[in-house]
Copies of this chain bind each other. A is one copy, B any other.
Amino acid sequence: MARNTQVAADPNAPPITQILARFVATHPSRGWSDAVDHEAHRTFMNWIGCAVGAARHEAAESALAAVRMLEPAAQATVLGRGDRIDMASAALINGITSHTFDYDDTHLKTIIHPAGPVASAVLALGEHTGASGRQLIDALVLGIDVSCRIGNVMYPDHYDRGWHITGSTGMLGAAAGCARLLGLDAQRTAMALGIAASQPVGMREQFGTMTKPFHPGAAARAGLMAALLAKNGFTASPKALEAPRGMIQTVSAKCDWREATDELGQRFEISFNSYKPFACGIVIHPSIDACVQLREQGVRPEQVARIELKVHSLVLELTGKKTPADGLQAKFSVYHGCAAGLTFGRAAEDEFSDAVVNRPDLVALRAKVVATVDDAIGEASADVTAVLNDGRRVHVFVEHAIGSLQKPMTDAQLEGKFHGLADPVLGAAPTARLIEACWKVGTAPDLKAITALAVPS
């Protein structure tokens, strides 16, 4: 029998479960601007690249071995591999691989990585049910809108108390997207959201382990199953999100309800999605960007006597590792980031491999980086001067790094990132064809071209 005790409950929350369900079920197809639709294509393409790139990572091998113990039916494609497994398991595995390199997308207002849970669910479902590309993009836009809006409601308190917000909102986006793909009405869509609401996934303590990328995968799986359950008449509370003992009030002390519904159908959260140009923590990005620019101005590592780096104190607090021993440590080293940027003109997953991190020229170049704190410089900025052997000084100031909302990656840069991830798995020419198919997915009659091109021939 239920106790009556309550912990700081708000009984007057608006009916956001119903409102969001009606929105997802009834908003017109492509009912948004060209810019939003293009951003959805960028989000989709970037997500596929990340998933393909990590397809042979040990986290994928391990998770797939577990799934194989269920003897899954061949319903949907594991990106970057030949395997076909049931659609719920495909959502899980593709969700894992897309986040394995920590190199995917970021909704900066909430630091949600929105594509992992939503795209993984809707592609696996849509592939099996024969959805069109337009249906997929619609589901992606609407699903991401739901998960990021719920993130806005709860951030930052929810994140601060320990939740990995990508997985603990992502099951709602996945459920919304899959409900849309299945053509559920508003009432059943509300049930899908309700079933998903009981399954937030992910604790921040897992960062640094395979369970971190498991979070978007498990959220994708939970959301997809929630939609299948709702389609078949399974019931949940129609107030599962907002009720005093519903999900949001249970997992967050901050409940800014307006964020769920303000400008609904006019402002789309996918517009605020960003893509990582570098495969490491975001506070290092301005410094890497500056060093890439130095290289573009002709500066070469062998000419450099010293690199003077001025950054906000937070940068050194979080990523001040001067002599990283391996790739994982290098992801927390602004020194390595600078050395990689100047040496390679990029800092993708390969530039954080153990082998590269321990190369003598990189070790030597890192030692030439002299970092000083200057809190007059913003957290998202960096001031870098290369002092050359001949005494010349070359200076670059980066106010907003490439990949930020102020300076988004161009389509060409996204394609370059995609090639870096997928070429080693698929080959350069097939990767180019896959990129082409991603840009055109919104007009594709079905998803077969995408899934066929996303596996090695």
Indicate whether A65 sits within 8 Å of B202 (C-beta atoms), given known contacts A3-B160, A87-B70.
no
Known: A5-B160, A88-B70, A236-B209. A197 touches B204 (CB 8 A): no
A205-B237, A209-B236 given; 20 more Cβ-contact pairs under 8 Å: A1-B111, A1-B282, A1-B283, A2-B318, A3-B160, A5-B160, A7-B157, A62-B232, A66-B228, A66-B229, A71-B73, A161-B250, A162-B250, A198-B201, A198-B203, A198-B215, A205-B240, A206-B237, A209-B235, A210-B236
* Cβ-based interface call for A187 (8 A): no
* A416 interfacial by beta-carbon distance below 8 Å: no
Residue ID in chain B nearest A71 by CB atoms: B73
Of the stretches A241-249, A301-309, A402-410, the one at the interface is A241-249
Evaluate whether A167 and B59 lie within 8 angstroms (CB atoms) in the complex, with A1-B318, A65-B232, A159-B3 already known. Answer: no
Determine if B69 and A246 form an interchain contact, defined as CB atoms under 8 angstroms apart: no
Whether A27 sits at the interface, judged by CB under 8 Å, is no
Assess whether A126 is interfacial by the CB under 8 Å rule: no
Using a CB–CB cutoff of 8 Å, the interface residues on chain A facing chain B are 1-3, 5-7, 58-59, 61-63, 65-66, 69-73, 75, 86-88, 111, 156-157, 159-164, 167, 194-195, 197-211, 214-215, 218, 222, 225, 228-229, 231-237, 239-240, 243-247, 249-251, 281-283, 318
**CB closest residue in chain B, given A129:** B69
A167 to B232, CA, bound (A): 22
CA distance in complex: A3, B156 (Å): 9
Is there contact, CB below 8 Å, between A239 and B205? yes
CB neighbours (8 Å) of A240 from chain B are: 203, 205-206, 211
Tell me how far the C-beta of A212 lies from the nearest C-beta in chain B, rounded to whole angstroms. Answer: 9
C-alpha gap A88/B202 in the complex (Å): 20
Q: Do B247 and A234 touch across chains, with their CB atoms under 8 A apart? A: no
Closest 6 CB pairs of A and B: A162-B250, A71-B73, A65-B232, A162-B245, A66-B228, A204-B245
Question: Which residues of B sit under 8 angstroms from A163, Cβ to Cβ?
Answer: 250
CA distance A360 to B449 in the complex (A): 65
Q: A1 to chain B: which residues have CB within 8 Å?
A: 111, 281-283, 318
Write the nearest CB–CB distance from A36 to chain B, whole angstroms: 27
Q: Knowing A201-B198, A205-B239 are in contact, say whether A246-B162 is a contact too (CB < 8 A).
A: yes
Determine the chain B residues whose CB is within 8 A of the CB of A234 once the complex forms: 59, 62-63, 66, 210-211, 214
Cα A154 to Cα B282 with chains together (Å): 35
Q: Which of A65, A72, A203, A239 has the most CB of B within 10 A?
A: A203
- In the assembled complex, which residues on chain B have CB atoms less than 8 Å from the CB atom of A86? 70-72
Instruction: Output the residue of A58, A75, A249, A251 with the most chain B CB within 10 A.
Output: A251
Query: Which residue of chain B is the closest to A73 with respect to CB atoms?
Result: B71
Bound-state Cα–Cα, A156 to B203, Å: 21
Complex alpha-carbon distance, A233 and B214, angstroms: 13
CA distance A236 to B202 in the complex (A): 11
Docked complex Cα distance between A22 and B27 (Å): 53
By a CB distance below 8 angstroms, the chain B residues around A2 are 204, 207, 318
